[in-house]
């Protein structure tokens, strides 16, 4: 099964993606992990990405797609989180997946309100000391999610691939919601 997980920062995408990948023996494809691994491996793409990240710039979409392609070529099934964040990224991702014969089976949307996301991110900042979870940064990240990523959500909703999941419960409750959603997808599988 090929799964994309979307949702705002603090919705639990990474936590649920790791759990889902482990339980179903799927590859977990997190873009941050891909970037760090490409750099650590010293691959051609890693060498191209390193100076971009060292400057604090965003990796261009075409390089992200190449990195994801490199990782997915050998995966049967996967859980992808952290990408796409914009409609052009979603279009490029879908085109690349079609090209390698691995289109998405389902897009899960972890739905959480801004108040819950903010509370979770603030808690993570306190526990882990993450500077990217400072209050003003959280507000900006959520603003960017609404501005740039919600159109991606609507794109997948219009395609009929999107399955909304209540992401406001505990980790176990959300995992149960995801399992129910995937059971429904499999039941309707072509």
Catalytic residue ranges: 13, 85, 124, 130, 141
Whole-number Å distance between alpha carbons of 139 and 85: 16
Sign of CA dihedral 171, 174, 176, 178: negative
Nearest to 110 by CA among 76, 82, 147, 138: 82
Strand order of the β-sheet with 106-111 is 27-30, 78-81, 2-6, 106-111, 162-166
Strand partners, 28: 79
Whole-number Å distance between alpha carbons of 75 and 53: 26
Whether residue 94 contacts residue 61, with contact meaning beta carbons closer than 8 Å, is answered with no
């Amino acid at each position: 099964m090929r799964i994309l997980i979307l949702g705002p920062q603090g919705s639990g995408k990474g936590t649920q993606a790791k759990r889902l990948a482990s339980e179903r023996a799927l590859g977990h494809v997190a873009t941050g992990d891909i970037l760090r691994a490409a750099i650590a491996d010293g691959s051609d793409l890693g060498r191209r990405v390193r100076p971009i990240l060292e400057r604090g710039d965003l990796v261009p979409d075409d390089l992200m797609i190449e990195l994801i392609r490199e990782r997915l070529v050998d995966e049967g099934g996967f859980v992808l989180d952290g990408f796409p964040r914009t409609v052009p990224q979603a279009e490029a991702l879908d085109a690349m997946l079609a090209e390698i014969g691995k289109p998405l089976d389902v897009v899960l949307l972890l739905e959480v309100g801004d108040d819950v996301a903010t509370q979770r991110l603030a808690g993570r900042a306190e526990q882990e000391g993450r500077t990217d979870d400072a209050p003003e940064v959280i507000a900006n990240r959520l603003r960017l999610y609404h501005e740039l990523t919600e159109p991606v959500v609507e794109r997948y909703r219009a395609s009929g691939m999107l399955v909304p999941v209540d992401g406001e419960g505990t980790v176990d409750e959300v995992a149960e919601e995801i399992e129910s959603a995937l059971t429904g997808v499999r039941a309707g599988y072509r």
